[in-house]
Chain A
């Protein structure tokens, strides 16, 4: 079985400050990990993914995420938040051996204030 937890329903950050959106996962084998963002009235957009290799993954819009196998985490980070980053963020996981569908977390709402 595979699952994803996003422990925070909402994260509030001031513009210009660093942001972190947390994600932990549970899979039976090695994971494939993804972050997606959902802006109001728009579909999910792919941000970044971890497949293998370097634990620090860089993605779109200045976002990055760090894969930590010992802590089974894949937190999303950005050094300096923008108001336009305000959106709903979803972490997703896929076990390498159990099908192709993604298992999504419940999402974290990020609010960046001016």
Chain B
């Protein structure tokens, strides 16, 4: 079946502009995650959505970052007034929701490489 898809694959933007990144999770996955991967670094958690629950926004680095999710489908990550330090690969992942069966692994999309000039 189709995996997690993200668009665009690459985005170059000027400092100060707003950008929107899109994620299409695997069908049926109720949980969706956004991470950021800076060059040579591990992944930093940004935000988590689970079903209709309030999202966990604890990883968002500033109020310039926000994300929305429509039901259990598409999510968009918006970065306002981009800064050069926002340059990174933004990864989206989805998983089955938490259940009595245990912990479900996350499936990652290919990422969006954001370059802020």
Contacts and interface: CB of A to CB of B under 8 A. Distances in A.
Interface of A: 4, 32, 34, 36, 41-46, 49, 51-52, 90, 92, 94, 99-107
A52 B111 CA distance: 31
Interface of B: 3-4, 31, 33, 35, 40-45, 48, 50, 56, 58-59, 91, 93, 98, 102-103, 105-111
A100 B108 contact: no
B33 A101 contact: yes
Nearest to B92: A43
B42 A100 contact: no
Contacts of A99: 48, 56, 58
A42 B50 contact: no
> What are the nearest 5 A-B pairs in CB distance?
A101-B45, A104-B42, A44-B108, A104-B43, A43-B108
A43 B56 contact: no
Nearest to B110: A43
A37 B42 CA distance: 12
B49 to A, nearest CB: 10
Contacts of A4: 42
A100 B98 contact: yes
23 contacts: A36-B108, A41-B110, A42-B110, A43-B109, A44-B43, A44-B108, A45-B108, A52-B102, A90-B42, A94-B103, A99-B56, A100-B33, A100-B56, A101-B56, A102-B33, A102-B45, A102-B106, A104-B44, A105-B42, A106-B40, A106-B41, A106-B42, A107-B42
A103 B109 contact: no
Nearest to B3: A43
B43 A100 contact: no
A46 B107 contact: yes
B103 A51 contact: yes
Contacts of A42: 110
B87 to A, nearest CB: 18
A10 B88 CA distance: 21
A45 B41 CA distance: 17
Contacts of A41: 110
A77 B29 CA distance: 30
